[in-house]
Amino acid sequence: MERILISLVEGTKIAMNAIWVNKTRAILTTTCIVIGIVSVTAMNTISDGIDRSFENSMDMLGRNVVFVEKWPWGFGGEYKWWEYRNRREMELSYVDELRRLTPLASEVSASANRQTTIRYDDRMAESVDLSGATDGYFRTSGVQIESGRAFNDYDVHRGARVVVLGASVVDALFPNEEALGKQVRIQGQRFQVIGTLEKQGNFLGLEDFDNRIVMPISAYGSIYSLRSGIQLAVQFPSEEALAEGEYEVIGAMRQIRQLDPLDNDDFAINQAALFEQEFQGMKTAIYGIGIFLTGLALFVGGIGVMNIMFVSVKERTKEIGIRKAVGAKSWEILLQFLMEAVVICLVGGVIGVLLSIGVTQLINQFFVAYLDWTTVLNAIIICAAVGILFGYLPSSKAAKSDPIESLRYE
């Protein structure tokens, strides 16, 4: 055991010296590994970023909430839009009916959504997601108030001109001042800011969940219209209660709509699970492409290491003969050249990981990426594995060489 440790230390020293003597060759070899490790790390950071962002996004959407709408979310299969367009619209009165007919539900809310422009003095925020909602919206949507307050049932009933702003809207309209109490203009009408929402971030790094404002649905209806586009949200105490609760909602809606037993549902039940199913398919495709590309990059890097190691073994044939002549075992020669291959790969791996930090920041500007310590550890392990795998053949050739023939080599 002691001899093995001594051989490892000596092999590492010889490897470092050989790399230093042949710096140009080492740089070219490590470049192949750097490219491979940056590819692997970038793939892992994107996949980790997607997973984390998706989990956060599903929490925003509400895992224990079902949405009752005219239109189903269009994921997979045939989308019968010509059938859906003829369905009756949701009505605001359904909120009270659903509360009465769904005892398992913990909250029911209604909302209508559109994009709008909001102004304050000479500043303006465009393409803002506006939600007109009942007071239960702040519970079914999972949004939290950061400062001020949410509007209440009294505000909804009297059609109060009040509004709650998302973080991105606050930054756009009130970069250096307090938003609470200010008067903003929406469609030429004044609304008082009574609250701001906690920052939520982006949906899969694409849609800004903070670029939103919420007002009482009655005030929304006075500006626009509630004849179409109402979405009902029914929240349950837990995900476990959701399965049974969904059937309860379907039965309640059929009763509210006065459908006969043989009539098809003229409404859609949507939930976050539909996003998760679609996401799994997308993630599998991304992972498949990523694994192929990163595997190809590492294979090319490994071939580069193997070629350089064959050249190194050839150049140092006489050195191998001398070491064998003075008593070095074949496994010690094998270990020496394996360590050289591993050290080259590890140096490339460290450089690749350092570059990946910048690559992760760059990806985050356009999509989502997250560099976890386990990704760094995996990259180092992969480097060592590539060094051992692709360094074995040239190292084995060196270990099996005849000492007499090696000493005669010029």
- Could you count the other beta carbons within 10 Å of the beta carbon of residue 322? 14
Burial of 43 (0-12, 13-18, 19+ CB in 10 A): buried
The predicted pLDDT at position 135 comes to: 92
Task: Supply φ then ψ for residue 132, to 5 degrees.
Answer: -95, 125
- pLDDT value of residue 15: 65
Domain ranges for the chain: 2-57+277-408, 88-266
CA distance 365 to 361: 7
Q: What is the pLDDT along the chain (410 residues), one digit of tens a residue?
A: 566 666 666 666 766 676 676 677 777 777 878 888 888 888 788 777 777 777 666 666 667 889 999 988 865 556 777 788 888 999 999 999 999 999 999 999 999 999 999 999 889 999 999 999 999 999 888 788 999 999 999 999 999 999 999 999 999 999 988 999 999 999 989 999 999 999 887 766 566 788 999 999 999 999 998 888 899 999 998 878 888 888 999 999 999 999 988 888 889 998 877 677 667 777 777 777 777 877 787 888 888 888 888 887 787 777 777 777 777 777 777 877 888 788 888 888 888 888 888 888 887 777 777 787 887 888 888 888 888 888 888 888 877 876 666 565 55
| Per-residue three-class SS string for the chain | CHHHHHHHHHHHHHHHHHHHHCHHHHHHHHHHHHHHHHHHHHHHHHHHHHHHHHHHHHHHHCCCEEEEECCCCCCCCCCCHHHHCCCCCCCCCHHHHHHHHCCCCCEEEEEEEEEEEEEECCEEEEEEEEEEECCCHHHHCCCCEEEECCCCHHHHHHCCCEEEECHHHHHHHCCCCCCCCCEEEECCEEEEEEEEECCCCEECCCEECCCEEEEEHHHHHHHCCCCCCEEEEEECCCHHHHHHHHHHHHHHHHHHHCCCCCCCCCCEEEEHHHHHHHHHHHHHHHHHHHHHHHHHHHHHHHHHHHHHHHHHHHHCHHHHHHHHHCCCCHHHHHHHHHHHHHHHHHHHHHHHHHHHHHHHHHHHCCCCCCCCHHHHHHHHHHHHHHHHHHHHHHHHHHHHCCHHHHHHCC
CA distance 395 to 241: 62
Determine contact, residues 22/311, Cβ cutoff 8 Å.
Answer: no
Single-letter residue type at 224: Y
How far CA 371 is from CA of 289, 291, 292, in Å, comes to 20, 17, 20
pLDDT of residue 141: 85
CB 235, CB 64: distance < 8 Å: yes
- For residue 239, the model assigns a pLDDT of 79
- Rounded Cα distance between 167 and 84, Å, is 35
Q: pTM to 2 decimals?
A: 0.68
pLDDT at 194: 96
- What are 114's strand-pairing partners? 130
